Structure 1
């Protein structure tokens, strides 16, 4: 597979691209990688996307550990190797068990999950597969996370689906990772 939108050397970026690239480099990500490589071609879109992603990844109302779980489920649903390579190790650092990561990679519902993990997993799978969430799952998530948390959970699914679509179409290669690639 050929990378359709490969990295552009920083010195070849125009002023708008340089500004948005620097914002990503100066932020919590610290570097221009993954989805930001193809996104740099659209600086305004990249700026909006990186701001949303920074909120969802680092400050969502459901917390970092459960956000990382939602990211993994979304990456699995879209067969997105870049997001998997980046986020599987982070999810485990945040407390998602290796067995849970392995089950998600294999497309199975993990056997052992906390109540919150099960709600996030099931909510994401329903939303991704069925394009909607059942009343039972929605109401359980609402009871645990409140409206703010449920909206952030929907936002995580939408944002990481956007990135998956972008990188799958651009054929962005996965970076080296301690995580095994998705089967």
Structure 2
């Protein structure tokens, strides 16, 4: 870990307020990247609120949101993010074969057109740095404009999370081994 994370007793009033807001929120705890972001309290406040929205309040159930998050974690080889969201994807009902395919950089087989579209959008955003017209038009048909915007939000937010976790070298919990090469 490259950064000393503050305990609540070491935090400034601004940092402590943001920390307390996160603990009182839907997560029930302070997410690991937020602990790094607290070095910039304003950023931590807004990023944590955005994270809570994209994690819990998009139009997608967890099973679908986690596809975009896992594609993002895999793209960035974010070991901690993969560890955390694989568990959440399984809990949300995502097929373990889909998770394994994303991990191994194989295109999963989907029986849900929304799941396939979220995967295709996330892959295009990360690998193609955008979305071609045909994919965009199909995405709007399948997910709606709000859905397209929210997939972009998921990929963008979890890119920032992955960059934070990777840059500051957040370790996996004791006894855990990364699945990502």
TM-score range, shorter chain: over 0.9
Whether the 8 Å CA contact 1:88–1:179 is kept in 2: the answer is: no
Query: Aligned partners of 2:136 and 2:63: how far apart in 1?
Result: 20
Query: Aligned partners of 1:151 and 1:56: how far apart in 2?
Result: 11
Q: Which of residues 63, 83, 106 is equivalent to 1:108?
A: 106
More displaced, 24-33 or 100-109?
A: 24-33
**TM-score by structure 1 length?**
0.92
Unaligned runs of 5+ in 2: none
The residue that corresponds to 2:74 in the other structure is 76
Query: Aligned partners of 1:162 and 1:146: how far apart in 2?
Result: 25
SS of 2:32's partner is coil
How many residues get paired? 181
Deviation at 1:111, TM superposition (A): 2.8
The residue that corresponds to 2:140 in the other structure is 142
SS of 1:96's partner is coil
CA offsets, 1:33-90, max 9 Å, x none? 3211211211110110011111110011233221111000000000011211111111
Query: Aligned partners of 1:62 and 1:153: how far apart in 2?
Result: 9
Q: Which of residues 93, 96, 99 is equivalent to 1:98?
A: 96
Deviation at 1:145, TM superposition (A): 1.4
Residues 1:146 and 1:177: Cα distance change in structure 2 (over 3 Å):
farther
Query: Aligned partners of 1:73 and 1:138: how far apart in 2?
Result: 18
The residue that corresponds to 1:167 in the other structure is 165
In the alignment, structure 1 residue 151 sits paired with structure 2 residue 154: no
More displaced, 128-137 or 106-115?
A: 106-115
Whether the 8 Å CA contact 1:85–1:176 is kept in 2: the answer is: no
Whether the 8 Å CA contact 1:70–1:124 is kept in 2: the answer is: yes
Deviation at 1:10, TM superposition (A): 1.3
